[in-house]
């Protein structure tokens, strides 16, 4: 797996030191992209750079991928707006195609395939806050049907001025400046914006696997009772008892309007299970669950959970089973169970 985020998750990983936000935004720490030819890199929008950059370290490990499956809500929205502005500026005359090509949601998966000469299954899921979850479900179904094959799975989104302004106007982000190291201390509407990309090699073959995805469930609802029922149904479908879950990674994002949903999950799991929060570190964006899965796998293998992420109960042992709950804008919810492979 590989991850580019607003924290030091790429290359030499350091989650203990929390990078502080600015202007209610957490921008990804972009690497030097040494594996991308300079000529191509100059033409890439940020979303494409993040996706390709996160995928490059995995290409050597899986040179012959059987498919590329990406989840993103917005793709290269910034390039899309640039192209639309060109239409006005040049009066629908001769336009530069680069911005248009880089702006489509499937540009990331296409660019990765182009650089790897991959002609296999190639698809991009665009379902707002469940984009990565649907990509994950797609990858799981392919892996069940073809256990011997390997697929590149990814989730990513960028902060674009257009999307940030629209989401700000509808109340998604806090009006007052809120530093991420005190995000959960501000009892107000809205959260802070984030961006990032996480990539995984997924296969039905469990040999040498870092972790296993045991179950996934998604639902749309504003009703807290539906979340409670959805959690119970998920645990039954996954055939796991609550006392077998070692850690909960919560998608709580500091927006007081939606805290009730994460509280329901915490109350119905157990007060004795440690709870981890991560969106103060990476911000809120539609495919943030991809970062949560990366964190879950990292915790399963390292056992080291930064103190700034721990909400209640210190993580004192290497976890075997981690439940991820995510809520996007109060409507889209997901549960993912990650366990130690084997």
| Predicted confidence (pLDDT) per residue in 93-132, tens digit | 777 777 666 667 888 999 999 988 999 999 999 999 999 9
pLDDT computed for residue 186 by the predictor: 87
- pLDDT of residue 88 exceeding 70, the answer is yes
Structure tokens at 55: 């995928």
Nearest to 131 by CA among 239, 330, 325, 289: 289
Residue 99, φ and ψ in degrees, nearest 5? -60, -40
Pick the CATH number of 212-339 from 3.40.50.10890, 3.40.47.10, 3.40.50.1220, 3.30.720.200: 3.40.47.10
Q: 2-203 and 212-339 share one CATH topology?
A: yes
Identify the band that residue 331 occupies on the pLDDT scale cut at 50, 70 and 90. very high
Q: How many CB atoms lie within 10 A of CB 303?
A: 12
Q: Which pLDDT tens digit goes with each residue over 290-321?
A: 999 999 999 999 988 999 999 987 787 889 99
Residue 50 near residue 3 (C-beta atoms within 8 A): no
> Which residue is associated with the tokens 């950059």?
53
| Least confident residue range of 84-88, 166-170, 300-304, 320-324 | 84-88
How far is the C-alpha of 127 from the C-alpha of 316, rounded, in Å?
37
Q: Is 247 helix (H, G, I), strand (E, B) or coil?
A: strand
pLDDT of residue 93: 78
User: Positive or negative CA dihedral for 202, 335, 259, 125?
Assistant: positive
Average pLDDT of the chain to the nearest whole number: 92
CB of 179 within 8 A of CB of 19?
A: no
Residue-level pLDDT at 64 = 84
For Cα atoms 339, 292, 332, give the angle at the middle one, nearest 5 degrees: 105
**Helix (H), strand (E) at residue 150:** strand 150-157
CATH fold of 2-203, please? Peroxisomal Thiolase; Chain A, domain 1 (3.40.47)
SS3 332: strand
Beta strands in 16-166 (DSSP E): 25-26, 67-71, 121-125, 150-157
Structure confidence by residue, pLDDT tens digits, 258-278? 999 999 999 998 878 999 999
Q: Domain boundaries in the chain?
A: 2-203, 212-339
Work out the pLDDT band at 84, boundaries 50, 70, 90.
Answer: confident
Percent above pLDDT 70 for the chain: 96
pTM for this model (two decimals): 0.94
pLDDT at 204: 95
* C-alpha–C-alpha distance, residues 130 and 323, integer Å: 17
């Amino acid at each position: 797996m590989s991850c580019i985020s607003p924290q030091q998750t790429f290359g030499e990983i350091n989650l203990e030191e929390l990078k502080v936000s600015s202007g209610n935004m957490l921008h990804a720490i972009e690497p030097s992209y040494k594996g991308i030819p300079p000529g191509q890199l100059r033409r890439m929008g940020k979303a494409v750079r993040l996706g390709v950059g996160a995928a490059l370290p995995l290409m050597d490990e899986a040179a012959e991928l059987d498919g590329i499956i990406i989840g993103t809500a917005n793709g290269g929205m910034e390039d899309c707006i640039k192209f639309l502005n060109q239409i006005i500026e040049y009066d629908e005359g001769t336009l530069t195609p680069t911005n248009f090509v880089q702006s489509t949601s499937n540009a990331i998966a296409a660019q990765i395939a182009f650089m790897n000469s991959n002609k296999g299954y190639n698809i991009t899921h665009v379902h707002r806050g469940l984009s990565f979850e649907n990509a994950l479900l797609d990858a799981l179904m392919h892996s069940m049907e073809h256990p011997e094959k390997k697929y590149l799975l990814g989730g990513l989104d960028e902060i674009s001025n257009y999307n940030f302004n629209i989401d700000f106007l509808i109340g998604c982000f806090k009006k007052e400046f809120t530093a991420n190291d005190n995000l959960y201390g501000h009892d107000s509407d809205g959260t802070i914006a984030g961006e990032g990309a996480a990539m995984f090699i997924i296969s039905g073959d469990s040999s040498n696997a870092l972790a296993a995805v045991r179950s996934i469930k998604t639902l749309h609802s504003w009703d807290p009772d539906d979340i409670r029922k959805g959690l119970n149904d998920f645990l039954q479908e996954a055939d796991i008892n609550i006392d077998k879950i070692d850690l909960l990674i919560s998608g709580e994002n500091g927006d007081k309007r939606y805290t009730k949903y994460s509280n329901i999950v915490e109350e119905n799991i157990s007060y004795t299970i440690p709870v981890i929060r991560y969106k103060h570190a990476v911000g809120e964006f539609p495919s943030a669950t991809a970062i949560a899965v990366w964190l879950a796998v990292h915790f399963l293998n390292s056992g080291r959970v930064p103190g700034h992420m721990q909400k209640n109960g210190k993580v004192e042992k290497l976890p075997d089973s981690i439940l991820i709950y995510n809520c996007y804008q109060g409507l889209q919810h997901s549960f993912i169970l990650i366990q130690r492979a084997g």
